[in-house]
Amino acid sequence: MSINLFFVLILGLLLGMYGYFAPNYAAVHEIKEIPKIELIDFTLYEISHKGIDHILEGDKGKKFDEYYVITSAKFSDNTKNLFHTIQADTVDYRNDIIKLNGHVHYKRDDGLEFRSNEGTYNTKASLIDTRGSFVITQNKNRIDGNGLLYNTEAKTVSANQVHGSYQLK
């Protein structure tokens, strides 16, 4: 056996070993966002010089760099004229926008409530928006419809396919 053939076999063996044992870089490039904080059965209070501004409650919560993901969430706002809460099965809270999914329930101190299966609450603009069906109740009054846009500050509502019953005093 010649020395050249020996070195060619060694080179082939080394290249084969490199090909077989080379790292898989495809798995390394999958960067999954990792939560910075995880909470279970929690209540967070936002306090200012006026008192408690906001309360955020939930069963499980994850805080990422730019947003929160919460299950069985309840958000209470004490900065508006009337104290109000909004809750849902899952919540995605980013940039003052709360995306709500599953059993959405909004309740205000004066007795106004609305329910839907999904919705979005813009905390800065005081707007609640839902694409699907909804029910608004206050005392014995009831309104059903689709596509709700509710301004909690101006107390204005717009919706599609509305029908309801209103009790006059």
pLDDT at 73 over 70: yes
Q: Is 107 part of a structural domain of the chain?
A: yes
pLDDT at 6 over 70: yes
DSSP state of 81: S
Q: Within a 13 Å sphere around the CA of 121, how many CA atoms are in the beta-carbon half?
A: 24
How many structural domains comprise the chain?
A: 1
d(CA 122, CA 108): 16
**Angle at alpha carbon of residue 22, lines to 30 and 25, rounded to 5°:** 10
Give the mean model confidence (pLDDT) for residues 55-79: 90
Q: Which of 13-17, 31-35, 151-155, 163-167 has maximum average pLDDT?
A: 13-17
**Can you read off the two tokens belonging to residue 140?**
């014995």
Query: Structural domain of residue 116, as residue ranges?
Result: 37-165
* Span of 33-37, 78-82, 100-104 with lowest mean pLDDT: 78-82
Query: Nearest CA to 78 among 50, 105, 52?
Result: 52
Q: Is 3 part of a structural domain of the chain?
A: no
Confidence of residue 1 (pLDDT cuts 50, 70, 90): low
Q: Is 129 part of a structural domain of the chain?
A: yes
Confidence of residue 166 (pLDDT cuts 50, 70, 90): confident
Q: Is 1 part of a structural domain of the chain?
A: no
**Can you read off the two tokens belonging to residue 169?**
């005093």
